[in-house]
Amino acid sequence: MSKARKRKKFLVALAFILPFFILYTIFTIWPVLQGFYVSLHKWGLMGKQKFIGFDNYAKFLTDKNFWGALKNTAIFAAITTPMLVVMAMLLAMLANRGTKMKKGLRIIYYLPSVLSVSVASFIAKYTFTPYTGLMNGVLHSLGILPASKELQWLQDPKLVWISISAMTVWWTIGFSMFLYLSALQDISADIYEAAALDGATKRQQFFSIVLPLLKPTTWLITLLQMIACFKVFGQIYMITGGGPASSTRPMIQYIYENAFEKNNMGYAAAMSYVLFGILLILSLGQQILQRRGED
């Protein structure tokens, strides 16, 4: 191939790549760099005030509210991630069965995912409200909860995380379910037939065939869900506002409060980069564990 032809191909490729690269630089790379610049300053809503170096990064080390918000976020991730992984796998297996209802089940399972966070949060508040809420009403009807007692799902620190986690799983499980469903459909029917001929029961097939072949998908869903949990904000802010007594305030809400309520954008930007570092470490750690498991 001549140099002129190679140059022409390069210019054609560059013409296709350049628009995306320009937009990516403007809307992704530049905000990241600008955010780091802000984190090195005392910065308010009116703009830069003074350069303070890494003081904002040192401040969070002694900030009890920061560590409290990080703890709340970790609790949410620890409850929600296993719940979503298990439920998504079960729903995918139900939706993968060769029945006439499988298409309908897939639509039903995915349908909550199309709701906005405000609508999903409103449904959750109605469901878990005492006296008039659906959850207590069902428990009263079944005789599990005495008529004179009302569970404070959104006020009790022990119950509030269950309520928020259940709502989040119900709302977001559709995407993970479809990932599992796609992985299940990639498993050849010949493998099941060969295992059945060898005398393997359904239970043995599940633990010896299905689970090992779904392992890459499970790692992916776990990683995506952990990242989503550490970025949680909307549903908690709308359901509890971070209460009771800041017991459910996540990291993103604390960053938001510092930036827009306390007019301290420099510190908020610094905490954002700390959160990014935490997510990076968790992601790398999971990748290492996954590679060791595959080896």
Q: What is the DSSP letter of 262?
A: S
CB under 8 Å to 125, separation ≥6 — which residues?
Answer: 154, 238, 239
With a cut of 70, say whether residue 97 has pLDDT above it.
Answer: yes
| Topology annotation, domain 58-117+150-294 | MetI-like fold (1.10.3720)
- Band the pLDDT of 282: cuts 50, 70, 90: confident
Q: Structure tokens of 22?
A: 């320009």
Q: What does the pLDDT read at residue 293?
A: 65
pTM: 0.87
CA 206 to chain centre: 27
CA separation for the pair 253, 230 (Å, rounded): 11
Quick check: 233 and 252 in contact, CB under 8 A?
A: yes
pLDDT of residue 284: 87
Work out the average pLDDT over 51-73: 91
- What local confidence, expressed as pLDDT, does residue 123 receive? 92
Q: Report, as an integer, the average pLDDT of 28-33.
A: 90
Please check the confidence at residue 80 and state whether its pLDDT lies above 90: yes
Decide: residue 30, CB within 10 A, 0-12 exposed, 13-18 middle, 19+ buried.
exposed
Q: What is the mean pLDDT of the chain?
A: 89
Q: What is the pLDDT of residues 179-218, one digit of tens each?
A: 999 999 988 888 888 888 888 888 888 888 888 889 989 9
Which pLDDT tens digit goes with each residue over 107-128? 899 999 999 999 999 999 889 9
pLDDT band, residue 294 (cuts 50/70/90): low
Q: How many Cα neighbours within 13 Å face the side chain of 179?
A: 21
d(CA 71, CA 65): 10
**Predicted pLDDT of residue 295:** 59
User: Tokens 């399972």 label which residue?
Assistant: 109
What is the mean pLDDT of the segment spanning 270-279?
A: 91
Q: What is the pLDDT of residue 1?
A: 60
- Locate 40 and state its tokens: 């090195």
Q: pLDDT category, 25, cuts 50, 70, 90?
A: very high
